[in-house]
Amino acid sequence: MVTPRKFARSTVLGLGLLALALPGLPAGAVSQPAGPALVAAAPAAVQPPDIPQDNSMAHARQFQSIATANGGNRAHGRPGYRASADYVKAKLDAAGFTTTLQSFSYNGATGWNVIAEWPHGDANQVVFLGAHLDGVTAGAGINDNASGSSSILEAALAVSRADARPAKRLRFGWWGAEELGLIGSAYYTRTLAATERSKIRSYLNFDMVGAKGTRTWGVYTDNTTLGNTFRAYFSSKGIATRGVSIGGRSDHASFSRYGIAVSGIASGNDPCYHSRCDTITNIEPYVMGHSTNAAAYAAWTLAGVPNLVGAFS
């Protein structure tokens, strides 16, 4: 995030668990005869994947390796950033996404956004998950924000593994130069045609979601309905949440300024924020696993992915 102690200045609105029931019948439910005809079965319940925690950790370790091989960071205009973007795009290309490497210029350097769209679902109703891909020059930027980048990358790959057929269109974004003032996401939304912006029904942000020791997750307070989707996931795992108000300090602000409903999640406080020690040892598999599965839960629920038979891990 772009300002010191992103979440230390967040507004804590209290702890709470919210249990939300999912619609539909359990997988495998059958209809019963009514008179001479059969009653049509209700749609199967949404069944998000259960993604092993090491899946997103593997991406985070790759981002650490990229930083180590490229001057110790993945900052805007540095080779470590472009290598990070290439890594994400290659994974998504292989998984069957329609991907775009969008360039922009800032401070005399070329930056890149990676945009990936799953080619199924109503293109007039877009559910968008995003995270900034860049870090600061001081270090590898693993919690801030290889954690969010890894979580949504793995959620996207789970969509591919499931060969999902959502009712709405799923789109994912990895933003450049967030640390310099939300530059990449602002460029994307500003240059998107107004008719295309109007198709985005929700934007969910994942910034600093892997902090070691997290046991209570922050849920953005911008939109209650979207926030309740995350609370439903954490409640189902017996995990407490708190409300956080991040204001305009991460990429969701680039969407909310155009009237798009936004939410997101955040992990606990990070003593290595914007520091050299923000390395792979600054995040935790348990935390990454739940943040990744919360992202997948939100994607499945908000986009209306039907229950599918098969392994998602």
How does pLDDT run across 262-271, given as a tens digit for each residue?
999 999 989 9
Active site residues: 178
How does pLDDT run across 82-124, given as a tens digit for each residue?
999 999 999 999 999 999 999 999 999 999 999 999 999 999 9
Is pLDDT of 252 > 60? yes
The verdict on residue 313 lying in a domain is: no
For helices 53-69 and 285-303, the axis angle rounded to 10 degrees is: 110
pLDDT at 1: 79
pLDDT at 310: 38
307 falls in which pLDDT band (50, 70, 90)?
Answer: low
pLDDT at 297: 98
Percent share of the chain, pLDDT over 70:
84
The verdict on residue 219 lying in a domain is: yes
How many whole angstroms separate alpha carbon 121 and alpha carbon 118?
A: 8
DSSP 146: I
How many whole angstroms separate alpha carbon 172 and alpha carbon 204?
A: 10
- Relative to beta strand 240-244, strand 216-220 is parallel
Is pLDDT of 36 > 80? no
User: What is the domain count for the chain?
Assistant: 1
Average pLDDT over residues 304-308: 76
What percentage of the chain's residues is helix, strand, coil (to nearest 5)? 35, 25, 40
How does pLDDT run across 230-243, given as a tens digit for each residue?
999 999 999 999 99
The three-state secondary structure class of 73 is coil
- Residues near 23 by Cβ (< 8 Å), separated by ≥ 6? 43, 45, 46
The verdict on residue 9 lying in a domain is: no
Which residues are registered as beta bridge partners of 205? 130, 264
Is pLDDT of 9 > 50? no
The verdict on residue 65 lying in a domain is: yes
The verdict on residue 113 lying in a domain is: yes
The verdict on residue 7 lying in a domain is: no
Residue 248: give its domain's CATH number.
3.40.630.10
Is pLDDT of 18 > 80? no
Is pLDDT of 23 > 50? no
How does pLDDT run across 176-209, given as a tens digit for each residue?
999 999 999 999 999 999 999 999 999 999 999 9
Domain that holds residue 121: 15-22+46-303
Is pLDDT of 163 > 50? yes
The verdict on residue 309 lying in a domain is: no
Q: By mean pLDDT, which of 43-57, 263-277, 287-301 is the weakest?
A: 43-57
The verdict on residue 185 lying in a domain is: yes
Average pLDDT over residues 29-39: 34
pLDDT at 3: 59
